[in-house]
Each structure stands twice: as structure tokens, then as C-alpha cells.
Amino acid sequence: MVRLQRVTSDNNNRAASAGQAPALSRLLEQTADAVQAVRGGRSLTDVLAACPGPLRPGTQALSFLVLRRLGAAQALRAMLAPRTPPPAVEALLLSALALLWPDEAPPYADHTLVDQAVTAVRRRAPQSGSFVNAVLRRFLRERDALVAAALKQPVARWNHPAWWIDRLKADWPGHWQGLLAAAQERPPMTLRVNVRQATGAEYLVKLQAAGLAGELIEAQAIVLEAPVPVERLPGFADGVVSVQDAAAQRAGNLLVGAGLPPGARVLDACAAPGGKTAHLLELADLDVLALDADPQRLARVDDTLARLRLKGRTRAGDGRRPADWWDGQPFDAILLDAPCSASGIVRRHPDIRWLRREDDIAALAKIQAELLDALWPVLKPGGWLLYATCSVFKAEGEHQIDAFLQRRGTSVAHLDDRSPGHLLPLPDNGSTGAPSPGSGVDAASHVVSDGFYYALLRKKPAAGAD
């Protein structure tokens, strides 16, 4: 993490405008606001979008770290201050405790963090300055004992809600600890090279010329040695490359690899923000309709296609109600990247674990089932439907598809042997199904991709037809 130089509050605005790093106290205030908002049910992405520009990078870095340690921080706060402080004070206290948690490379010296946390709280709740100072200094004095006590609590040990831990234990009894540990890691930045403009090997040379190091893990997939702003990627503005995790890149490879003819009609249901839509169009000449229920998110699909110089159609509509948007012509293939818990990408979005509620999983599974049942009739006989979720929960993957096949019957729907099943974010990629040629992380690579589920379904042709 970048160390941030300290400046006085009076000079903070001038320092930011002059290009100097913001004061840590200001970043702690913004981080506390973000933590309080997430605990209140708001997305961290939305909160950061409203954060003042000069403070946003530092706030994001601190917020990610705090949210990855929030379970431990909550346990410590309860031990150190049994009476819950006002929300704004508690959020700042939680942030400071998370940042003071034992770390081989702490982001700040202990005394600096305590001093700046007290400065921050005195600006917002002057009467709480002494309280915060006393709690943090006591933690430093008794840190070893308090940390040991906190680690006896599963939520503090794993920094996930208890229900999440229990679900992983039930779904993956041999992997649950690895999954929880993986969620605490920083994810790699993976690129998808636009095959219409360059090969992966060619783009790797361009990266090296720009002073960026990366590893080619597949024909068109590159993992950077360190994340960078997209503006630093050669040709990004011209559509040469996109940012997309290796596991997400499987969608296009699986569907196009099923054998779609040129000009095939393809529906990308729940398409926003458009990464998989674009990948389909990069791989083959297809007639793609990108559908999404949210018109504002759908605009991002248009922006993505424009940057990549690709042509596809977009339409706002709910996949569960084809009568509102379908023209009556069946599709050769459907990509259903269904709404889900996003439990497979929690390392990229550490707020998800604290935003989700246990009953969300059943509600999401119901929506997924409704989408499958509504979209299956608009697929032509002999066509392909690829069901995908960025989830490691079986209710949104294996169990969902098992139930769908039981409803439809094996005489109508067939699960293709190329279906990867659950891809777990673990070093061996944890595929529970068959490997899919030309997709996924190279077995020799050290790269850990996101958690996903994929099921490639074929709608069997009518009797006597191919």
C-alpha cells in the first residue's frame, strides 16, 4: 500500500490540489464513511463514486483492507468498548482497529495511525476524541491477548458472516477454509486481448515496451504482475484489450466453442456491463442481442462495444418476460449470466460478504430458476444455453441446474460434457466438471482465477431432426 504523507487539516485542500498525498486523517474519515455505509446496506462501489477525487484512491485502498478485516475489528470493538458508540464513531474505530491488526507490512506506524484516527474523530465528534484514543492505546498495549481472544470467534477468524461460513462448510467440506482464505487475497489484474486486433503474444510485447510485466496464461489472456490504471494499457482506448478475469473469459470460449455458425442469433441475457457480450463478438461473427433489465447499466454495454469497435444490438428488458422484448425468432444460443450472490468474486468486492443476507440466496435462486424457465422456450431446438454465475454456492450452480434438468427432463435438455461446473478460486482452479479446451487457467500457472459456475446445456432437436 502506498504510504500517505501527513499534512495538516488546514493545508489538506491545498496539498491535494498541488498533487501532494492527502492527510491520513482525511482518508480515515472517508474510509469510516464507507464502512458505515456498507454496514447500512450500501454498495462500496457507489460510496467510492461519491468520494472526492483526490481522496478516492487512498480511500479505496484503506476501505478494501478494513472490509477484509471487519469481522476481526467488530470482535475487538466489542471487547474494548462493550457499549456500542454512535455509528460514525464506531465506524472510525472499526477502521482504525482493522488497520492496527497484526500485519507483516503494516500500512502505517502504530503511533501515526492512532494520532490520525483521533484527529479524524475530533473533527466529527469532538467529545469522542479521548474515548477513541483510550480504546486504541489499550489495544496496542494488550494486542497479543486481544487478537488471540478474537481469533476464537469464527466471524473474526475468517472475516465473513457466520451464515456464509456455514454454507461453505456444507457445500465444500474439503475446501471451505481455502475458499475463505482466498477471499482475503488481492486478486490479479487479468487482460483479455481482442483477437480481432492482436494475439496475446503480440500484446505481451506491447506491454513490455510500455514497461509493464505480465504473463500469458492462455492464447488471449494475460495476467499483469501488478495492477495499473487502464489508461496505462497500450491500445485500451482503441479496443485492443479489456480487463476480464480468466474465469469470466470461459463464457465466450464455451459458447462459441459449442459450434455456432457465422451469423448465429445469440441472446446475452443480463448482459451489463458487457464484457461477455464483447468477448462473443470478438470471437465470432454473430448477431448478438444484449439484454438487461437496467437501462442505465445497459448504457455501459453500448460504451464497451463502441470502445472495442464491435457491433451488437442492445435492448432493455427483463429476461423473465420475453413477451415484452422478443421478436418471435428463436435464438441459436443464449448466454444467461444470471444475477447471483457474487460469492465467487468477493476478493474483488470485499463489501459483498457484509451486504449479503442469508435469505438473499434463496431469493436469487428463485430469480435464476425463473430466468432459465422463461428463456428456454426462446432457444431453438438444437441450440445451446450457457448458464453462468460468479458464485461458489451450490444453490446458485449445481443444485440450480440439477433442478432445471429435472423440470425439463433429459429427453429435452442435455448437460454437455464440456461443462466445467463449479470453478473454485483456488490454486488448482477447483473445477468440479470437465475441463474445457481453450479456456481456464493454464495448469502450470500460479494464477488463481475467480469463482464461477458454468453449465452448457443443449436443447435436443425434435425427433428425426439433427
pLDDT reported for residue 438 = 35
Region 245-459: CATH code: 3.40.50.150
Contacts of 386 (CB under 8 A, 6+ apart): 251, 254, 255, 258, 333, 334, 335, 336, 454, 455, 456, 457
Nearest to 264 by CA among 336, 322, 335, 333: 333
Q: Can you tell me which residue has the cell 489538506?
A: 12
* Low-confidence residues in the chain, pLDDT < 50: 1-18, 434-444, 464-466
Its sign, for the CA torsion 348, 248, 375, 362, is negative
Cα-flanking dihedrals φ and ψ of residue 214, to 5°?
-155, 170
pLDDT reported for residue 430 = 52
* Angle, alpha carbons 454-458-460 (nearest 5°): 160
Distance of CA 67 to the CA centre of its chain: 14
Cell of 66: 478494513
Q: How many CB atoms lie within 10 A of CB 354?
A: 21
Q: How far apart are CA 275 and CA 437, in angstroms?
A: 21
Task: Cite the active site residues.
Answer: 390
Nearest to 400 by CA among 357, 449, 453: 453
Residues paired with 206 in a beta bridge: none
Domain ranges of the chain: 9-158, 245-459
Q: How far apart are CA 224 and CA 191, in angstroms?
A: 8
Cβ-contact 420, 344 below 8 angstroms: no
pLDDT reported for residue 461 = 87
- Map the chain to HEC letters: CCCCCCCCHHHHHHHHHCCCCCCHHHHHHHHHHHHHHHHCCCCHHHHHHCCCHHHHHHHHHHHHHHHHCHHHHHHHHHHHCCCCCCHHHHHHHHHHHHHHCCCCCCCCCHHHHHHHHHHHHHHHCHHHHHHHHHHHHHHHHCHHHHHHHHCCCHHHHHCCCHHHHHHHHHHCCCCHHHHHHHCCCCCCCEEEECCCCCCHHHHHHHHHHCCCCEEECCCCEEEECCCCCHHHCCCCCCCCEEECCHHHHHHHHHHHHCCCCCCCEEEEECCCCCHHHHHHHHHCCCEEEEEECCHHHHHHHHHHHHHHCCCCEEEECCCCCHHHCCCCCCEEEEEEECCCCCHHHCCCCCCHHHHCCHHHHHHHHHHHHHHHHHHHHHEEEEEEEEEEECCCCHHHCHHHHHHHHHHHCCCCEEECCCCCEEECCCCCCCCCCCCCCCCCCCCCCCCCCCCEEEEEEEECCCCCCC
Cβ-contact 439, 220 below 8 angstroms: no
- Sequence letter at residue 28: L
Q: Which fold would CATH assign to domain 9-158? A: N-utilizing Substance Protein B Homolog; Chain A (1.10.940)
Q: Can you tell me which residue has the cell 492462455?
A: 218
For the range 232-235, what are the long-range contacts, defined as Cβ-Cβ under 8 Å and sequence gap of 24 or more? 233/191, 233/207, 234/203, 234/206, 234/207, 234/209, 234/210, 235/197, 235/198, 235/203, 235/206
